[in-house]
């Protein structure tokens, strides 16, 4: 491991906005001590909690924290070195409504009590075109989200992937989930004014190459059975190329 990563990991241990709970401790205790107590023990207010899953550098969590000071945001990722960037910004700016949790998304129910989360944002995840159980909008993960989402809670997806957008749209329709909004070209649609004015570095790279951002939001009823849609979807061919090169460019 490089010295820079080691330095970041060491600093993460000192940042109050970062919460890391070793799996061995979690297994022994059965749940994180913060479960059901994020508002009381971390944010010290009763405001709604929004999760950013697979937050990377935490650009969305930090951006939403700046934009909506009366709401609380938690960026979640398993990779701490990337999360350091957002955590450092939170510390430097004194943002009291943004925190970071280093863990696997599979473990969300160990960290959040039922109905403790109001909204979930999934921003530009890997579409996992070959592995449906790894898609963050697939039914496997929806079953996890519903264990922590409040009734009427909303899931938001922003993606550059036509494959993931088509899949998610089909999954929502197949399961008759309440659709709130959807567009395959966010910044050329009326929905642009309804979505937080945040574009991540990764998103800007794709927009500059003419690949539009897609957005979809839906609700997840607590008890409705879920199943996968039977649909063939054209793969995203440009993903076979490096991030700096697109097919036909």
Main-chain dihedrals φ then ψ at residue 218, nearest 5 degrees = -155, 165
Return the H-helix or E-strand segment holding 145.
Answer: helix 139-145
Residues in the chain: 249
List the structure tokens of 153.
């809670």
246 CB-near residues (< 8 Å, 6+ apart): 209, 211, 238
Cα 181 from Cα 216, distance rounded (Å): 6
10 Å CB burial of residue 46 (0-12, 13-18, 19+) is exposed
- Cα angle, residue 213 at apex, residues 206 and 130 outer, rounded to 5°: 80
Buried b (16+ CB within 10 A) or exposed e, 128-152: bbeeeeebbbbbbbbebbbbbbeee
Residues with a catalytic annotation lie at: 126
């Amino acid at each position: 491991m490089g010295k820079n990563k080691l330095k970041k990991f060491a600093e993460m241990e000192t940042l109050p906005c970062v919460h890391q709970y070793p799996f061995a401790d979690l297994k022994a205790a059965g749940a994180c001590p913060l479960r059901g107590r994020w508002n009381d023990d971390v944010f010290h207010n009763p405001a709604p909690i929004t999760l950013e899953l697979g937050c990377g550098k935490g650009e969305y969590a930090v951006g939403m924290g700046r934009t909506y000071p009366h709401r609380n945001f938690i960026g979640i990722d398993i990779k701490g070195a990337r999360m350091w960037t957002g955590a450092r910004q939170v510390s430097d700016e004194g943002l009291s409504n943004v925190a970071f949790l280093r863990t696997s998304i599979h473990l969300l129910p160990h960290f959040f009590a039922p109905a403790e989360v109001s909204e979930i944002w999934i921003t530009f995840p890997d579409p996992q075109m070959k592995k449906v159980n790894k898609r963050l909008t697939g039914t496997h993960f929806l079953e996890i989200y519903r264990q922590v989402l409040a009734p009427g809670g909303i899931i938001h997806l922003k993606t550059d992937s036509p494959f993931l957008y088509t899949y998610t749209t089909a999954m929502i329709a197949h399961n008759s989930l309440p659709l709130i909004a959807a567009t395959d070209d966010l910044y050329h649609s009326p929905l642009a004014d309804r979505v937080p004015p945040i574009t991540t570095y990764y998103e800007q790279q794709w927009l500059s190459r003419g690949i539009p951002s897609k957005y979809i939001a839906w609700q997840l009823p607590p008890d409705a059975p879920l199943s996968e849609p039977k649909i063939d979807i054209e793969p995203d061919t440009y993903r076979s190329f490096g991030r700096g090169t697109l097919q036909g460019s």
